[in-house]
Structure 1
Amino acid sequence: MADEETILAAATRHLNRDPGASMADLAKAIGISRATLHRHFATRETLLHHIAERALDRWERVQDEAEIDDAAASGDPARVAASLRALLRGFLPLIDEHGFALTVHLVAAYLAADVSALEERSERLEEREIALYAAAQRAGVLRADLPARWVSDALFGLLIGLRDGLARGDVAPRDIERLLFTTFFDGVGPQAAPGSEATS
């Protein structure tokens, strides 16, 4: 019998492809009976709430493991760069969840319960990252002519693009780290001085 973690992961993947999926649709996609799904989560709203909480938990864990707060406070270019790369690498296994983590305000449309705590937590986690991006700009790790919040938005877009590309089969799993790193750092990394060659 599928455990709760397996159900949440599978439901997240399916909802990314079909946001309007019913509990019956989700049970079929997961490979369990509707009754089993309802034993774990009485309603669709309860399931969505748990998915959002799980996404936020995993997002925060990646931030903590990348030590983004300490790196940002240090101002040390090498430490900031290492933390930023650890953050991006840590996001790769979370591609399915990241969309939920940053769009919990959309989950609110499906939930009768108050989700302000989820929204506040999502905003707090995003602000932690924006502080890292700003520190990376000051340290010369990222280009300084872009708003730090735009850097955050751009990374989110890349992660969603990878998620959708994987789902469509346009992107191979073995290529996602290379695609993320090259696209992100080529776009928001420090720019080469006029007349000089950009380095990889």
Structure 2
Amino acid sequence: MMNEEELLDGAARVLAGDHSASMAHIAAGIGTSRATLSRRYATREALLKAVAVRAIDVVDGCLAPADLPGTADGAEFDAALERLVTGLLPAAHLYGFTSRDATVLADPEFRAGIQRQDQRALAFLALGQRLGRLRVDLPAYWIWYSLWGLLDAAAEGVRDGHLARRDIGRLVLASFLSGTRPSPAP
């Protein structure tokens, strides 16, 4: 029997690939019956709400490395950034669905959770800019959005069979850093 986290993660993966998936399609995609899924979630909306709550919880946990003191140095920032990026990889499927679903986005609790997470991430990225570890000519929001774009692309590449799960951490981190690191001084 599938535990709650596995069920919600599986539902998020199905929904990331097909936002309009029915309960029957979601159940088939995660290897359970529609009846079993319906016993846990009476409606599709209830399932979507549970996936959104799971997404907030998972990303909250992933943001722990971003909670650096303002006195952190460049090496501490770099290590925390790598932990953040690799920690967010397993959450990409949750974000890929929740960030695009109108039902989820209309939920004030979900929006408040996203805003809280954005503020944590933006404070971290601003620290990286002050330390000279991230480009200052890019808005911190752009850096944050670009990271999620790469994570979403990685999840899609794995889902479509074009990328190996074991490679995406390296690919996302290399792509992210090549675009956000300051250029060396001439």
Task: Give the structure 1 partner of residue 133 of structure 2.
Answer: 141
2:80 aligned with 1:83: yes
Residue number among 67, 70, 79 corresponding to 1:69 in the alignment = 67
Cα displacement (A) at 1:98: 2.5
Question: Within 1, Cα distance between the matches of 2:125 and 2:51?
Answer: 27
User: How does the TM-score come out when normalised to structure 2?
Assistant: 0.93
Structure 2 residue identity aligned to 1:128: R
2:58 aligned with 1:58: yes
Cα displacement (A) at 1:45: 0.3
Task: Give the structure 1 partner of residue 103 of structure 2.
Answer: 110
Q: Which runs of 5+ in 1 are unaligned?
A: 195-200
- State whether residues 92 and 148 of structure 2, in contact with CA within 8 Å, keep that contact through their aligned partners in structure 1: no
Cα displacement (A) at 1:14: 0.5
Q: Which structure's relative contact order is higher, taking Cα pairs within 8 Å and 6+ residues apart?
A: 2
Q: Point out 4+ residue stretches in structure 1 off by more than 4 angstroms.
A: none
- State whether residues 136 and 142 of structure 1, in contact with CA within 8 Å, keep that contact through their aligned partners in structure 2: yes
Aligned Cα RMSD in Å? 1.7
Structure 1 residue identity aligned to 2:6: T
Question: Within 2, Cα distance between the matches of 1:27 and 1:179?
Answer: 31
The alignment of Structure 1 onto Structure 2 pairs a total of residues equal to 186
Secondary structure in structure 2 of the residue aligned to 1:110: helix
Cα displacement (A) at 1:119: 0.3
- State whether residues 4 and 40 of structure 1, in contact with CA within 8 Å, keep that contact through their aligned partners in structure 2: no
Q: Which runs of 5+ in 2 are unaligned?
A: none
Question: Within 2, Cα distance between the matches of 1:9 and 1:168?
Answer: 17
- State whether residues 27 and 33 of structure 2, in contact with CA within 8 Å, keep that contact through their aligned partners in structure 1: yes
Task: Give the structure 2 partner of residue 37 of structure 1.
Answer: 37
User: How does the TM-score come out when normalised to structure 1?
Assistant: 0.87
Structure 1 residue identity aligned to 2:28: K
- % identical equivalent positions: 40
Match runs of 1:1-200 below 5 Å: 1-64=1-64, 66=65, 68-71=66-69, 73-100=70-97, 103=99, 106-107=100-101, 109-110=102-103, 115-194=107-186
Question: Within 2, Cα distance between the matches of 1:160 and 1:92?
Answer: 9
